[in-house]
Structures are given as C-alpha cells and as structure tokens.
Amino acid sequence: MMLRRYYVMDKQKQRLVNAPYVDNSYKWAGGGFLSTVHDTCHFGNALLYSYQWVPQSGCPAGFLRPDTVQMMWSPVPGTRCTWDSDASYGMGWCVVPPGVRAGFSRDQRMYVSHTGGAVGVSSVLLILPRAEMCGEGTEKLIPRGVCVSIIVNKQSVGLSKTALTIARLFDCVQ
C-alpha cells in the first residue's frame, strides 16, 4: 500500500502541515475522483481529438462529435473565470477565445482549462489546440495541440499560469 500525504498551509505558522483526512468517495458526481496526470492527459487528448476530427480524414471518429466539443468550449457571454482574467466560462471549462490584445502583439490562441481542488490537493488540465499543422507530411495526425495536466498534493495552489507556460513551451510555434 502506497502512503499518500496531502498538505495545507498553516496560515498562523506560515508552514506546511498535513491535511486532515477526508473521504471524498461519496461525491463522485461532483468530483471526488482520484486520478493521475497520465489519465487526465489521456482524457484531454481524447477531447482534443474529438474537437479536431474531420469526417473526410480517414481517421476513426472521436468519442464526442466536434460540434459537441465546440459547444462545450464556447465562451458564455458575460461570464469571467476567477483563475484567468482573459477567460470566460464554457460548459464546465474556462475558455480563452482567440484574439489580439494590442497592436503588434502575438495573437492569443484559443485554449481551455479546468481546475480542481480538494483538501490537500490542487489540479489543472489545460488544452491548447493547434489550428494548423506542425511540419510537413502530417496531414492525418490529430490531435494537434498540447495537453498539460498538473496535480500537486497541496491545497489552494494556482496552477493555470504554470500549465499555460508549459503548453506554450511544448507548442510547435516557431
């Protein structure tokens, strides 16, 4: 049996302390699942594949239709994500739409993210889709983009900016 330790910050002593034990098994419908970065990246890639799948590509269909993922990842007007000032809420996702922030600046690519947290744990899954191919001879290679999953054993850790920085490092933009 592997012993797992989870931590919280003791604000009075300004140090890490063990998080109290919490049984999250009763709230599976609202979270409560334990996962790994491998599994969440696999899920992110499945969503990315479904989002970019083209019927004429000759590739097998994704588990969702592209228009379903597009609907999930469409920003809802008048909403703002608390963890990303450029983002709005979609259907369960924080969505940053494509755009240009200022003249002569790099275009902002669309990306989506979802964060999670529980007693002693913080997580993020960020998906940065590509609009075009990276290199030659890759016409049928989908998904195109980067999925980043980070899970840490400390409560209340803001991971979104770190995930976006990692995604941009691994993105094939020249």
pLDDT tens track for 13-38: 788 778 778 776 776 666 667 788 99
138 pLDDT band (50/70/90 cuts)?
A: very low
Please list, in sequence order, all residues whose beta carbon lies within 8 angstroms of the beta carbon of residue 66, skipping any fewer than 6 positions away.
Answer: 50, 51, 52, 53, 54
> Domain for residue 28, yes or no?
no
Helices assigned H by DSSP within 28-93: 37-52, 66-72
> Domain for residue 84, yes or no?
yes
Inter-residue contact 129 to 111 (CB < 8 Å)? yes
Comparing 101 with 151, the larger pLDDT belongs to: 151
> Domain for residue 10, yes or no?
no
Inter-residue contact 123 to 115 (CB < 8 Å)? yes
For the chain, the domain total comes to 1
> Domain for residue 29, yes or no?
no
Residue 102 DSSP symbol = S
Q: What is the torsional sign of CA 156, 160, 162, 166?
A: positive
> Domain for residue 7, yes or no?
no
> Domain for residue 26, yes or no?
no
Cα distance between residue 91 and residue 97, in whole Å: 14
Please list, in sequence order, all residues whose beta carbon lies within 8 angstroms of the beta carbon of residue 159, skipping any fewer than 6 positions away.
Answer: 115, 122, 123, 124, 150, 152
Measuring CA to CA, how many Å separate 16 from each of 2, 109, 123? Answer: 21, 37, 18
Comparing 68 with 136, the larger pLDDT belongs to: 68
142 pLDDT band (50/70/90 cuts)?
A: low
Inter-residue contact 43 to 51 (CB < 8 Å)? no
Q: What's the domain range around 54?
A: 35-170
> Domain for residue 160, yes or no?
yes
Residue 59 DSSP symbol = S
> Domain for residue 50, yes or no?
yes
